[in-house]
Amino acid sequence: MLALVDANNMYVSCERVFDPRLIGRPVVVLSSNDGAAIARSEEAKALGIRMAQPWFQIRHLEKTAGLVALSANFELYADMSSRMMAIEARYAPGQEIYSIDESFLDFAGVRGDLVAIGRDLRETVLREVGLPACVGLGPTKTLAKLGNHIAKSAERKPGSYPAHLARVCNLGAMPEEELHRLFAATAVGEVWGIGRKTGARLIDSGVRTVLDFVRADAATIRKQYSVVVEKTLLELRGVACMAFDDAPASNKQIMVSRSFGNAVTSMDGIIEAVSEFATRAVERLRKQHSVAGAINVFFTTSPFRRHDRQHEVGVTLPLVRPTADTRVLVSAAVAVVRRRYRPGFNYAKAGVMLMDLQQAGVMEQGELDLFAAAPKASPAAATPQRDRANLMDALDAVNRRFGRDSVRIASATLASSGSDTRSWAARHDRRTSRYTTRWDEIPQARA
């Protein structure tokens, strides 16, 4: 049996732990640049605020409805997440961390009342970390997910489902009749894997509820949609098609991109931004012990500014040899900007993507770089690759110890050393303190 544990409104709940005044009020957490709502409290949802809704469309609710908006504080959320995940891991032999606020647990071999265990788990998370969560159980991932959806709905919309399913719901231990009643009460679009497009098409064809869907013919679904949708269907019937994976492979690509706080109209500004994004991306790359075989750099104007002339640059550069060297990748990114930048545009966004990732240190013989220096005869002389790795290790160590960007690549400071003052940097005016990860931002108790 699998469980899916999911924190309720994770980002808002994290903020409430450190500021109880937010409890009971409509609260949203805003994306980078305070651009759009990426988390909503129940009260905010009740105001009709949609996921990813632009801030400028809802900001009037600050005055009229007491809405509180905060800038995303990802450092805080990540730390709260790791605390929560550690507790969840105590309850099952296997854990697959699926996102910042969700993990699958594998209860294979665990005896006893899983609903009782689930209740204990969520109470412990609430007591020790302060985050409310719901637990869904089922024989497959998709059913565990659906159980979680029902557990959450039953909690926040009394009457939508039987009250005893609130907060913890096990779809793996109920008579088919009862299961089908729940399926019939659930829209097909609520199923994990059925998105907007597929959901709309299913409804058009008369498949409205989960029950309609599980009764559909699998082969026909596969033909009309895809194997992915067919797998979802089979999973709802209890046939596991998605493996539980407690040691997920490292990422296959790494992307860092941002909308600018202010439009950038100089090449130096783009170079500076792209240098920083590349630096961040390569840090993540080294953290997972990978090297990149290619880098993609893009920068673009804003399609929302219709009166602006539009221009978009996106270039993928293969690398002679896969690398995790910040200098090489920043240089490559800067070269793209120098070659492709065109003046006279209001650039709104840029990004860097690292691709063709491979594990570091496992280069095939056939992939050896013909142009790399031959190994020196003297055993004392390290190969250039070794030097590189040592330099990057040192860079990471210094920045870990003395703070991010204590040491960095020169082009990343290009514009800020001149008159420009990093006007491209994203705004986050409403960010709360990083209570748990910065000594100087630790919360203070007053007598």
Q: Which residue ranges make up the site for DNA (CB under 7 A)?
A: 31-33, 35-36, 38, 51-52, 54-56, 98-102, 145, 191-199, 226-228, 251-259, 263, 277, 284, 302, 304-305, 316, 348-349, 351, 426
Q: How far is the CB of 387 from DNA (least distance, A)?
A: 27
Is the CB of residue 71 less than 8 Å from the CB of residue 30?
yes
- Identify the residue whose tokens are 């709940």: 13
CB of residue 311 to DNA, shortest distance in Å: 16
User: Phi and psi at residue 137, in whole multiples of 5°?
Assistant: -125, 145
CB of 26 to DNA, least distance (A): 19
| Angle in degrees, CA 162, 168, 173, rounded to 5 | 80
Q: What share of the chain is helix, strand, coil (3-state, %, to 5)?
A: 40, 20, 40
Closer CB to DNA, 195 or 375, in the complex? 195
- Closest distance of CB 272 from DNA, Å: 16
- Hey, how many other C-beta atoms are within 10 angstroms of the C-beta on 151? 27
As measured in angstroms, the least distance from the Cβ of 66 to DNA is 20
CA-closest candidate to residue 431, choices 77, 56, 58: 77
List Cα–Cα distances, 423 to 6, 109, 260, 272, in angstroms. 37, 56, 8, 11
Q: Which is nearer to DNA, 222 or 388 (CB)?
A: 222
Rank residues 51 and 116 by Cβ distance to DNA and give the closer one: 51
> Which residues lie below 8 Å from residue 376, measured CB to CB, with a gap of 6+?
383
Minimum separation from the CB atom of position 114 to DNA (A): 21
Comparison of 30 and 385: residue with beta carbon closer to DNA: 30
Quick one: which of 398, 371, 395 has its CA closest to 384?
Answer: 371
CB 107 within 8 A of CB 173: no
Which C-beta is closer to DNA: that of 36 or that of 135? 36
Q: Are 411 and 352 in contact (CB under 8 A)?
A: no
Count CB neighbours of 139 within 10 A. 17
CB of 206 to DNA, least distance (A): 17
Give 90 or 196: the residue with its C-beta nearer to DNA. Answer: 196
User: Toward DNA, which CB reaches closer, 94 or 189?
Assistant: 189
